[in-house]
Amino acid sequence: MHRSTSWKVAAPAALLLALAGCGDSSTEPGGESELITRVTLTLTPQGGGAAQTAVINDPDGNGPQAPQAQTGTLSLARGTTYTGTVRFENAVASPIEDITAEVRAEANEHRVFYTASTTGVTITTTDTDGQNRPLGLAFTAAVGATAAQGAGTARVLLCHYDSSPKVGTATSCTGETDIDLTFAYTVP
């Protein structure tokens, strides 16, 4: 009996060791990125002139590191209206993925909201989705002749709608926020 007992201990132990070899965790974690890591604003004066570009990079996207400082400066001249576009990219993918096209393809589910902090600077969405609701990938920024001078910020918020309906007249996101960044500009 003693003999058979020790056999019973040994057999499952051997089985355990044998099976422990399979299904282990040696697979490196890793995955497909869903990220938007870079947002680019481009402003072109409607009367002609050089386009200005500002970029905010956040290589870890939803990760714990805060977005990096903005590169490129935006200088908004009083009395000028700018044509603007926004570009969303996954810059950590190789090659870099343009997410803007996907947002456009799903225009009925998305909207970009803009908020300028300066009195006298008005941002207006100029493109629409399939149901004639604002989309926001294209916009104009009108800087009034009497707009307050100095530093200002423009908040860019990409909202997507799933359970909640997209309402064309809404002035803020009522869906879920995919992007929420603040760009700096100056009004000289």
Partner 1 sequence: MSSLVRPLALLLAVLVAVPTRARAQVPPDRHIHGVVEDAATRRAIRDADVFVETRGEATAQPVVVRTRSDADGRFDVRHLHTPTVRLYVRAIGYAPSDRIVDLRDDDVVVAVRLVPAPTVLAAVTVTADTLADRLARVAAVSALDARTIAATRGQTLGETIRQLPGVATIQFGPSISKPVIRGLNSQRVLVMNSGLRQEDQQWGTEHAPNIDGFDADAVTVVRGAATVLYGPDALGGVVRVDRAAVPDSGAMGGDIATNLFSNSRQGALSIGVRGANLALPALGRVGYRLRLTSRIAGNGQAPDYFLSNTGFRELNGSAALGVSRAWGRGELLVSRFATELGVLRQAHAGNFDDLQRALTAAPRDSAFSYGIGRPNQRVAHTTARLRVVRDLAAGQQLEFVYGFQFNDRREYDNHGPLRFRNVPAFHLRLFTHSLDARWSHAPRLGWRGTVGTSALAQGNQTIGKAFLIPGYDLWQGALYAQEEFTRGRLSLTAGARTDVLSQTTLAFADLGITSPAGTRRWTGFSGSFGGAWALTRDLDIALRVARAWRPPTVNERYAQGVHHGTAQYELGDAALTPERSLGLEGTVRYRGARLVLDAAAYSNGIDGFIFLRPTDPVLTIRGAFPGFRWSQTDARLRGVELAGSYQLLDRLQATVNGTLVRGTDRTTGAPLFDMPADRVTIGLRTTGSSARLGRWYAGAGTLLVRRQDRVPTGTIYALPTAGYGLLALDIGTGGLALAGRRIDLSLSINNALDHRYRDYLSRYRLFVNDPGRDVVLRVTTPF
State the Rg of the chain over Cα: 26
171 binds partner 1 (CB under 8 A): no
Helix ranges restricted to H, the chain:
2-20, 100-105
Q: Which of residues 33-62 bind partner 1 (CB under 8 A)?
A: 33-37, 39, 56, 58-62
Closer to partner 1 by CB, 116 or 179: give it: 179
- State the chain's maximal CA–CA distance in angstroms: 100
Closer to partner 1 by CB, 36 or 76: give it: 36
Of the candidate spans 79-87, 133-141, 145-153, 178-186, the one that interacts with partner 1 by CB under 8 A turns out to be: 178-186
Tokens encoding 134: 């604002």
Instruction: Say if CB 139 and CB 157 are below 8 A apart.
Output: no
Number of Cβ within a 10 Å radius of residue 106: 13
What is the contact surface with partner 1 in residues (CB under 8 A)?
1, 5, 8-9, 12-13, 15-16, 19-20, 23-37, 39, 56, 58-67, 92, 99, 102-103, 105-106, 109, 157, 159-160, 162-164, 173-181
